[in-house]
Amino acid sequence: MLRSACLVVLLAVCASAAIESINDIPAEYRELIPEEAREFLTSLTDADKVVIKDIAKNFASYKNEEEALNALKAKSPSLGAKAEKLHQMVKQKVEALSPEAKAFAKEIIAGARKLEAQIVAGKKPNLEELKAKANTAIAKYKDLSEDAKADLQNHFPILTKLMKNQAFQKLAEGFLGKSN
């Protein structure tokens, strides 16, 4: 299921006018982007970005991520092949998760889908909404068993690093005024 989030987030990021290249992401956050996703983003041409924006605008009309990926392949076979490679890599990692870790991943995906839908609809979330989402995600991560956390660490070390990141936690903490 995290494959869905990956595709959704990539489409949302590329559809957002604020981020035109990976260099638009602050350096301290770039390190949190998995190498495979970083390679995908840095390889995008201007033509690729146009195709992705077009697919993202119509994302709600697709029944699922596979249909959106097929539409991407139809518009640009080479871009579709790159996106599918990333999609499959994430899919394999998610399938390897334990039930508890997978449930957490699915919840994160649901949030990513809502965020993507907002962005594509032209309703970019404000900082308070993002901070609230971050705080919720951190709290749910902390509620996971140690086994589930270890499973996530093993399969998604960057996600785990983000959940443990003190700056990320302070951002969420500052919004709600409570400690995680």
How does pLDDT run across 13-29, given as a tens digit for each residue?
A: 444 434 556 676 666 66
Choosing among 3.40.50.1820, 1.20.120.1100, 2.60.120.580, 2.60.120.280, the CATH entry for 2-176 is 1.20.120.1100
> CA 41, CA 22: separation in Å to the nearest integer?
6
pLDDT for the residue numbered 74: 95
pLDDT tens, position by position, 113-134: 677 666 656 677 777 777 777 7
Whether the Cβ atoms of residue 86 and residue 93 lie closer than 8 Å to each other: no
Cα angle: 130, vertex 135, 141; to 5 degrees = 125
pTM of the complete model: 0.67
Cβ pair 101, 152 in contact under 8 A: yes
Q: Are 93 and 2 in contact (CB under 8 A)?
A: yes
Query: By CB neighbour count within 10 A (0-12 exposed, 13-18 middle, 19+ buried), where does 49 fall?
Result: middle
Instruction: State the pLDDT confidence band at 11, using cuts at 50, 70 and 90.
Output: very low
Asked if the model's pLDDT at residue 145 lies above 70, the reply is yes
Stated as kind and residue range, the H or E segment containing 56 is helix 46-57
